[in-house]
């Protein structure tokens, strides 16, 4: 495409629209978004937005763009994956008081996310070392018990189907021949 041809098209668009060049390009881009939305959601999926079975009503991109600017969850604003608003609601229901600040729920969500990330990271390493592709309760149990800080934190926790950490008390091991001969010499 020739650059002069592109400039002529944008000039004709702005002349028809009766606005500046940048404003005309914005309007054209918005119209293209609407057409793309209609092509994808209405032509490819004809049942989209029709009937009660579909939970998603049709919303056009220019309306959604305005809504996206304002509607953001507290988790997204804090940069967390854990739901800040649900943790805030849980804090209020547990009766720590009706006046629970949002920063308290953000802090608690961040701590929970860190702990879960740490446990899953260790469990992933355990599963990988055991040659497994899935993390199961046994991997979580071994991961928690292998880390000293997590072991102290979760000392009173029993993980269902986790088993026990493989450990044999040295007193229960059979004695070596050299140890047996040295102890028999001392006793005689």
Q: Which pLDDT score, from 0 to 100, does residue 102 have?
A: 86
What percent of the chain is predicted at pLDDT more than 90?
35
Q: Which pLDDT score, from 0 to 100, does residue 108 have?
A: 93
Q: How confident is the model at residue 45 (pLDDT cuts 50, 70, 90)?
A: very low
Structural domains in the chain, CATH included, are: 3-70 (no CATH), 75-166 (1.10.20.10)
Higher pLDDT, 182 or 1: 182
DSSP annotation of 32: H
Question: Mean pLDDT throughout 165-175?
Answer: 87
Q: Which pLDDT score, from 0 to 100, does residue 166 have?
A: 87
Residue 80 CB contacts under 8 Å (≥ 6 apart), including other chains: 106, 109, 110, 113
On the question of pLDDT at 156 being above 70, the answer is: yes
pLDDT digits (tens, 9 = 90+) for 77-108: 888 999 999 999 999 888 777 788 889 999 99
Given CA atoms 141, 147, 151, 153 in this order, what sign does their dihedral have? Answer: negative
On the question of pLDDT at 75 being above 50, the answer is: yes
Residue 109 CB contacts under 8 Å (≥ 6 apart), including other chains: 75, 78, 80, 82, 83, 84, 87
Q: Which residues of 69-90 are buried (b: 16+ CB within 10 A; e: fewer)?
A: eeeeebbeebebebebeebbee
Q: Which of 14, 32, 36 is nearest to 23 (CA)?
A: 14
CA distance 96 to 93: 8
């Amino acid at each position: 495409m020739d650059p002069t041809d592109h400039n002529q098209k944008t000039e004709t668009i702005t002349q028809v629209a009766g606005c500046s060049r940048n404003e005309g390009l914005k309007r054209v881009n918005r119209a293209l978004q609407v057409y793309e939305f209609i092509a994808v959601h209405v032509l490819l999926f004809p049942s989209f937005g029709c009937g009660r079975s579909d939970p998603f009503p049709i919303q056009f991109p220019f309306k959604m763009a305005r809504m996206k600017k304002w509607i953001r969850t507290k988790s997204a604003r804090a940069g967390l994956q854990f739901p800040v608003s649900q943790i805030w609601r849980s804090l209020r229901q547990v009766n720590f008081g009706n006046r629970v600040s949002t920063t308290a729920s953000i802090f608690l969500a961040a701590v929970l996310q860190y702990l879960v990330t740490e446990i899953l990271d260790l469990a992933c390493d355990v599963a990988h070392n055991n040659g497994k592709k899935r993390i199961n309760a046994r991997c979580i149990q071994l991961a928690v018990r292998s880390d000293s800080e997590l072991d102290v934190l979760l000392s009173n926790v029993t993980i269902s189907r986790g088993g026990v950490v493989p450990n044999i008390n040295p007193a229960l091991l059979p004695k070596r021949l050299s140890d047996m001969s040295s102890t028999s010499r001392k006793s005689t």
